[in-house]
Structure 1
């Protein structure tokens, strides 16, 4: 079930606040990873500006990748009222997102009409609990897209070596989540296909940047790296073939084997890249 389930189903506000605070603290202490019932969940911290108080308010929510944006759902457990964070972003759509490894300012866009209905149906296919929540209430449960604001990339500000390690950690984590989703899903529906295609696009973009900019620059500055870079580039080419195959097979019954192969090759490549290149970066 979604990360919002116990937040809204409990009747004791004190317990609710205590549980949320503990979960947020665990999230912050572990770069976005939590245990217990949310161990394999995508979670983010959404910080909004209070509509009445003007003070920062942070909620922890489950989210879904959706290309260059992420989606959150204002279910409030099917209660008659929208959650507070939704009222806040209606008043001020400028928000802040923390994904654990990355954090950035974003603009909240409430999906409307046909787009909202299409996306909500896709999310119900991924998690039937959203449909159950909708049946409990007469209000239309909102779906909100969080779009990163223009500016430097979320990992900017540290050394290039630190940024590379963070990017690698994000890919490892996302592929592990996809692997879990593929292994446990009874049907590889539309949202899971989007999850797979989103990470495929991200890997392609990252490897293209390395192949066209980072690798040539390193070889120019450190000719002794030529053989290492040649091996890493060959691995880029092999992974590109796997990504194309995954995009072709996504939704097929045997896609798990393809995901496992991609994870194995990618992890080996990332380990080699970090061992060989980080000392130079």
Structure 2
């Protein structure tokens, strides 16, 4: 089909760009020798770069299940987009008639063989591609994960989902972390407030209290994910397992940094302890936590939104 990756004297990228431009210009319809083909544009996340990658592919529906085949026209190696979904299975699918989010599942065994046989019945070229290569052409099903929407009037906003709630929790934690930085900077700068009638409470004690509250909230947030959200996602979307495993490993790293910061804060003595070490640890936690939040929001929010509405917490 259109996913050819390497060939002599042929600019594959330019060809794919031309196909995608015509596809989008004509709402999914192609002309010339590709007229009548059912094609989609599959957007994946680069396994190494993390960048969005678009690929035009043959698009099939077997027994109501959308799917694509990593054929590369019978080439000897699996295409780049296939390796991308192995690391991050969340994809965007454009069909011309609609665009939707999906979880890409690499089918195996009898299920794969059944689906490929059905595809070959629709498209003789697929059977020829399989004859040309020793690798088993991967069949990848696309499981739609549209966010929940209201069932009332068309103009009504969609329901807040669990994924939206996750982002809100991240934003609150980001705000609290910024406050920790502010308090530590105040200690470092030695600021006081001369306008206060009563003595200002110890800045170190404020930092200690806020750090305790922040660390407890972050631990509760990650425990909730490990014991609640992640098991639900694994059950509903097994192909998210590599993503969830990485997020769980990051939780352990963040927990270690939290413990180190808590110890430094607890041992901090104004006028005796140099706060620079504490500042350095807090900056490391901030960088790691922001990278973790960003990756989590990019990979699981849409899937979480399909599992149910956000809790109504006043």
What is the TM-score when the length of structure 2 is the normalising length? 0.45
Which secondary structure state, in structure 2, belongs to the residue aligned with residue 114 of structure 1?
helix
Contact preservation (8 Å) 1:75, 1:82: yes
Partner of 2:13: 17
Structure 1 residue runs of 5 or longer lacking an equivalent are 161-281
Contact preservation (8 Å) 1:3, 1:41: no
**1: distance between equivalents of 2:103 and 2:54?**
15
Contact preservation (8 Å) 2:102, 2:144: yes
Partner of 2:122: 126
**1: distance between equivalents of 2:71 and 2:138?**
7
Once the two structures are TM-superposed, the CA of residue 94 in structure 1 deviates from its matched residue by 0.3
Match of 2:29 among 19, 27, 33: 33
Which secondary structure state, in structure 2, belongs to the residue aligned with residue 59 of structure 1?
strand
Please list, as runs of the form range in 1=range in 2, the aligned pairs for 1:98-247 lying within 5 A after superposition: 98-152=94-148
Runs of 4+ that moved beyond 2 A: 7-13, 66-69, 156-160
Superposition CA RMSD, Å: 2.4
Partner of 1:79: 75
Structure 2 residue runs of 5 or longer lacking an equivalent are 157-314
Distance 1:116 1:55, change over 3 A: same
**1: distance between equivalents of 2:32 and 2:47?**
32
Contact preservation (8 Å) 1:64, 1:70: yes
Once the two structures are TM-superposed, the CA of residue 9 in structure 1 deviates from its matched residue by 7.4
Once the two structures are TM-superposed, the CA of residue 76 in structure 1 deviates from its matched residue by 0.9
Contact preservation (8 Å) 1:9, 1:77: no
**2: distance between equivalents of 1:157 and 1:99?**
26
Contact preservation (8 Å) 2:74, 2:131: yes
- Normalized per residue, the structure richer in helix is 1
**2: distance between equivalents of 1:157 and 1:145?**
32
Contact preservation (8 Å) 1:45, 1:99: yes
Contact preservation (8 Å) 2:101, 2:144: yes
**2: distance between equivalents of 1:157 and 1:63?**
32
Equivalenced residue count is 154
**1: distance between equivalents of 2:6 and 2:48?**
25
**1:211-261 superposed Cα distances (whole Å, 9 cap, x missing partner):** xxxxxxxxxxxxxxxxxxxxxxxxxxxxxxxxxxxxxxxxxxxxxxxxxxx
**1:11-42 superposed Cα distances (whole Å, 9 cap, x missing partner):** 235x2111111111111112212211222111
Once the two structures are TM-superposed, the CA of residue 158 in structure 1 deviates from its matched residue by 7.5
Distance 1:101 1:55, change over 3 A: same
Partner of 1:234: none
Q: Is residue 57 of structure 1 aligned with residue 58 of structure 2?
A: no
Please list, as runs of the form range in 1=range in 2, the aligned pairs for 1:87-106 lying within 5 A after superposition: 87-106=83-102
**1:138-175 superposed Cα distances (whole Å, 9 cap, x missing partner):** 1111000001104247xx99869xxxxxxxxxxxxxxx
Partner of 1:204: none
